[in-house]
Structure 1
């Protein structure tokens, strides 16, 4: 699925002292020169890193810079430290499983599981021996525990999720044990195994690294010494944090985005992620090039970010996410064109049993815009034959149309401010002619998606090369969907799943609502109306994600430390760390603003 990043108003500004800023290298030329200046004749350098880094460009530039300084260098790729590819594949297969759509999280493995320990020991001996040439070791695993103390200089080259996915889908990703792309690399290898090995090695490497390298763009590197990097992370998680949102064309591909954002190359829009673990964070350190890093990095300060309860209950997990689903069509279209797939989500028990994930997918739909004919699909009609519906879906597998599908699934007229509670097993889907704010739990440390598609109208989906709806129909997950199903009917939807707002705070100048909920839903949805400003509080325990639903621009500012602030535009989110405490929303426009907030119930 194609992804488009949107960088407008995404910068997080972290102030550095003149001394700190002077230690940061901005731009590839400065980074390479700075690295070369720290390498002595006969010295050793280990540059560990994530998938996606352009190693050839980085190492080529470094060796050229060393040559200019009269230092010869030998380079060693970590590809030679790994087990043979067939043994790596056998290891990965355990976690890919035979499930056609999902895998099993490798919750214990480390990168050492895939390394040839004899090759690692041979390299260690070379690193500790005297030599004339400098020795540069690079690639994932360069700074494993067995090698980290043998280097004179240790660096970590980092990469963000979306550009890495572009490489994977284009057959250009270089995997473990190779210096060449693997065109057949399968996404399940990454999401269920390789991510976790890389992540654990990254945390290990961070303990002894001397330099952090932002290496998302080979022509825009940034190098940050460890003490300055740690300062940046410490300062980030004190403040509201913005992320680089993504926009995705999908099976229904709508067009409201054209009125809102200029995104080169995007010609239809479906799912947009506004906040979540998959996204990247852009940081202005006061130099000519911005620091770009994955959101996983701020999980280095979990208690400040997500709170003690989440850290204790779901280690490493960023538990919430926010999506914006487009649904505007300038001319009327049938529901089979405007609707997202009919689907449901799994519970915590289900994902633990089947995928070894920590948390289920609990979802809400907040209607943020509505147009004529706006609708949401949820639950089944009271008189629907649900055994027949299941039989039809299983027989179809989205290859054969079910002409009378509306005889089974219930349609609900919608308006702005409606909130649908969607616990696991509830059949639902965006019906179109509206914009939906999805406020959900994030089930996976890696950002794996858990939606069980049941029926997608046997329609072609989006082909981003031709920019037409001529792609293959989406694959369904009917077994998981019906194994997980609760077969909820419309009367229960009406009585239990259509939440209503209850006023819990306000003074005439602002109002805070909290929507009614269900016991199984682990979070609250709240909204704050204001003319000029409104107060709120994380209580030191609850991470909030706030989205500006109405208004032009709002500033989110700490009460105790007013410098800890950011601004968000309409349909933009920010993360408010649990440790931030009392904060204020300031409406920059001064007329009317509405912020929608998701926060956990327990903290």
Structure 2
């Protein structure tokens, strides 16, 4: 298998702010001190996303600043029992699923203790007052405001290592799925609401991703970089993760750690969890790509998409690798009304499998076989869950041959999974974790625990009309020619009418002109080594993409062009493009 030039560390080079980013604590302290007036009192606020290493700030940054008064905002936070009482309805007893939180950050703090901290700050008449920690801006807005940030994926790594539990509780050794649930349904929602207005006015943003390797960027430079990102194609930083069913294709194709047992997932374009690399001269800043969503939703998504989804990126591209691996879990996703009523999400996880590669004999499990009696299949699944027998997938589920460039459509309510021997580009909506496993082939997770099965939820949402004939007619390779020109042709490949995402495939050996038509586009180069994305009017610098790379074209870009490039000149390439239907 030939290794590709897949870029694991894509960057956006921000123009015009090369001298507004700093590396290392000494330079960071100098930049912060330069922002302070020469005399009088200055309140420096360092607000933090949960998961930031406060001990590192206390050890490396605070002593260098020599404040007159230091205030840790977390001393005003409610204790663990009060937080549990506040959040019990959202946490639920389920291992995986909670209810989406609408809390605001002040609810997590004692109003009396916040008032006391404000009085402490007010009493200082001269010198530097330093307030730090999650929620620091609740104590004082700051004469100088720093926001310390990091991406959700990095937070998850710190959780897995046992370094951190959830914010406000000592639960480092709790089941990782329960910790992730609390972060997903509550903490990240609350802190995204809190940090959005802070990022809009922050004097600086502190990149705390790499331990003891801090980077700082001015707020003006960061905001300019995010604004620039909405006017050009770009990629977020992919991350890779092993799994019990994981395969070997990505490891070989993308030059990943050869000592790893496997790689199951690649989140190639999941902006709520990925990072974004912004380069300012010699300094590379890593921030959550979610910050782009929070600060620039309209030019990124377009007016219609923003009106429908708010500051949420609704399209997800990720990879599922079972080459030399195992079947995915047999699963189903909730119907829209179910996810709204049970979990507080306003749209569901419709999806599709685009087959990047497949071994001979590979299959996709999709829909029930004609004649299946619902209760009979559910009884068989329950018996399998109790360990009495394996689930009789041959009897109940369609197994459809999967070949390279096939496209399988999976509207919510359709039972499905990818079989072993496939490399899937999953194109889906983005509610993330709302997968109801029905059967997991009797496996344990990488943590040695049984993987959670949610038959009680799945039984409520399976659409039993999606049998063999219906699936073959509506969900398998719904390829429709749309247009063609000199050296290119366009095909519609889906998705189903119940899904809000439209997908098109372009085969091309010559330049193809595209247009965002006011909505964000997400594309992947599914055939060919290299392509060049440019603007017919020179509105942005040409952008090179490689095989299997997912890239985003913001709504504000408008017209753009994709051409074969480098070694791919003279060959036929293909992209798959997704957008939200109008």
Report if TM-score (shorter chain) is over 0.5.
yes
Cα separation, 2, equivalents of 1:33 and 1:483: 59
The alignment status of 1:452 with 2:436, answered yes or no, reads: yes
- Unmatched runs of 5 consecutive residues or more in structure 2: none
Cα separation, 2, equivalents of 1:361 and 1:29: 46
Secondary structure at 2:18 match in 1: helix
Superposition pairs of residues 183-202 of structure 1, within 5 angstroms: 183-184=173-174, 186-202=179-195
- Offset, 1:520: 0.9
Q: 1:318 aligns with which of 295, 313, 325?
A: 313
Cα separation, 1, equivalents of 2:121 and 2:452: 50
Normalised to the residue count of structure 1, the TM-score between the two structures is 0.89
- Offset, 1:416: 1.8
Q: 1:296 to 1:398 in 2, by over 3 A?
A: farther
Superposition pairs of residues 196-595 of structure 1, within 5 angstroms: 196-264=189-257, 266-299=260-293, 300-329=295-324, 338-397=326-385, 399-402=387-390, 404-443=392-431, 448-462=432-446, 471-487=448-464, 488-540=466-518, 542-588=519-565, 589-590=568-569, 591-595=571-575
Aligned twin of 1:32: 29
Cα separation, 1, equivalents of 2:165 and 2:497: 45
Q: 1:171 to 1:597 in 2, by over 3 A?
A: same
Superposition pairs of residues 27-106 of structure 1, within 5 angstroms: 27-39=24-36, 42-66=41-65, 71-106=66-101
CA RMSD of aligned residues (A): 2.2
Cα separation, 2, equivalents of 1:525 and 1:398: 40
Cα separation, 2, equivalents of 1:286 and 1:83: 39
Aligned twin of 1:165: 156
Question: What per-residue deviation string (whole Å, max 9, x for no partner) do you get for residues 344-372 of structure 1?
Answer: 11122221111001211111111111221
Q: Structure 1 residues 415-424 or 181-190, which shifts more?
A: 181-190
Q: 1:386 to 1:72 in 2, by over 3 A?
A: closer
Mapped contact 1:456–1:474 kept (Cα < 8 A): yes
Superposition pairs of residues 136-151 of structure 1, within 5 angstroms: 136-144=130-138, 147-148=140-141, 151=142
Alignment: residue pair count? 567
Mapped contact 1:10–1:282 kept (Cα < 8 A): no
Q: 1:136 to 1:482 in 2, by over 3 A?
A: same
Secondary structure at 1:156 match in 2: strand
- Offset, 1:131: 4.0
Q: 1:152 aligns with which of 140, 143, 161?
A: 143
Secondary structure at 1:290 match in 2: strand
Q: Structure 1 residues 552-561 or 486-495, which shifts more?
A: 552-561
- Offset, 1:63: 3.0
Mapped contact 1:379–1:428 kept (Cα < 8 A): yes
Aligned twin of 2:111: 117
Secondary structure at 1:361 match in 2: coil
Secondary structure at 1:449 match in 2: coil
- Unmatched runs of 5 consecutive residues or more in structure 1: 1-5, 330-336, 464-470
Cα separation, 2, equivalents of 1:82 and 1:286: 36
Question: What per-residue deviation string (whole Å, max 9, x for no partner) do you get for residues 177-232 of structure 1?
Answer: 47x77443722221111111111110132243211112211333222222222111
Cα separation, 2, equivalents of 1:495 and 1:254: 30
Cα separation, 2, equivalents of 1:353 and 1:436: 31
Mapped contact 1:378–1:427 kept (Cα < 8 A): yes
Q: Structure 1 residues 233-242 or 516-525, which shifts more?
A: 516-525
Mapped contact 2:18–2:282 kept (Cα < 8 A): no
Q: 1:156 to 1:323 in 2, by over 3 A?
A: same
Q: 1:283 to 1:479 in 2, by over 3 A?
A: same
Question: What per-residue deviation string (whole Å, max 9, x for no partner) do you get for residues 324-343 of structure 1?
Answer: 111222xxxxxxx6211110
Q: Structure 1 residues 73-82 or 22-31, which shifts more?
A: 22-31
Q: 1:158 to 1:181 in 2, by over 3 A?
A: farther
- Offset, 1:61: 2.0
- Offset, 1:395: 3.2
Mapped contact 1:172–1:183 kept (Cα < 8 A): no
Cα separation, 2, equivalents of 1:427 and 1:457: 15
Mapped contact 1:12–1:566 kept (Cα < 8 A): no
Cα separation, 1, equivalents of 2:391 and 2:382: 15
Cα separation, 2, equivalents of 1:114 and 1:9: 38
Question: What per-residue deviation string (whole Å, max 9, x for no partner) do you get for residues 256-285 of structure 1?
Answer: 123212223532122222111234334342
Q: Structure 1 residues 214-223 or 280-289, which shifts more?
A: 280-289
Q: 1:175 to 1:530 in 2, by over 3 A?
A: same
Runs of 4+ aligned structure 1 residues displaced above 6 Å come to none
Secondary structure at 1:88 match in 2: helix
